[in-house]
Amino acid sequence: MSLKFILYDWCGLNVALFQAINAGTPAALEPIAWFFSLVGNYWTAPLVMLSLWWWSKSAADPARANAVRLRVTGFGMAFLLALLAATVLKLWLDFPRPPAVLGELVRLIGQAERHYSLPSGHATYSALVVGALWPQVGRRGRIGLVIYAGLVGWSRIASGMHFPADVLAHEIRYGAEGVTKVGDTLWVAIQREWKDDPKGQVKLLGYNLKDKTWSAVRYPLEAAAEGAWNGLSEITAHGDYVYVVERDNQIGLKAALKKLYRVPVSALVGAEIGGELPVVTKEEVRDFIPDLASNNGYVVDKVESFAIDAAGTGYVITDNDGVADSSGETFFWSVGTIQ
- Tens-place pLDDT, residues 51-63: 878 877 887 777 7
The verdict on 238 and 220 lying in the same domain is yes
The verdict on 125 and 214 lying in the same domain is no
The verdict on 93 and 40 lying in the same domain is yes
The verdict on 305 and 204 lying in the same domain is yes
Contacts of 94 (CB under 8 A, 6+ apart): 115, 116
The verdict on 247 and 121 lying in the same domain is no
Q: Where is the domain boundary, 128, 152, 168?
A: 168
Per-residue pLDDT tens over the stretch 283-311: 999 999 999 999 888 888 889 999 999 99
The verdict on 147 and 228 lying in the same domain is no
Q: Where is the domain boundary, 147, 168, 189?
A: 168
Number of independent structural domains in the chain: 2
**3-class DSSP state for residue 275?**
coil
The verdict on 162 and 241 lying in the same domain is no
Percent of the chain exceeding pLDDT 70 equals 87
The verdict on 186 and 39 lying in the same domain is no
The verdict on 19 and 146 lying in the same domain is yes
Highest averaged pLDDT of the listed ranges 85-99, 124-138, 189-203, 298-312: 298-312
Q: Hey, which residues does 203 pair with through a beta bridge? A: 218
Select from 129, 112, 20 the least CA-distant residue to 74.
Answer: 129
The verdict on 162 and 257 lying in the same domain is no
Highest averaged pLDDT of the listed ranges 6-20, 99-113, 294-308: 294-308
Q: Hey, which residues does 204 pair with through a beta bridge? A: 189, 217
- Torsion-angle region of residue 81: left (phi > 0), alpha (psi -120 to 50) or beta? alpha
Per the model's pLDDT, the better-predicted residue between 32 and 56 turns out to be 32
The verdict on 77 and 191 lying in the same domain is no
On whether the pTM is more than 0.85, the answer is: no
Q: Which residues of 8-40 are buried (b: 16+ CB within 10 A; e: fewer)?
A: bbbeeebbebbbebbeebeeeeeeebeebbebb
Per the model's pLDDT, the better-predicted residue between 172 and 87 turns out to be 87
Domain encompassing residue 46: 3-168
The verdict on 245 and 303 lying in the same domain is yes
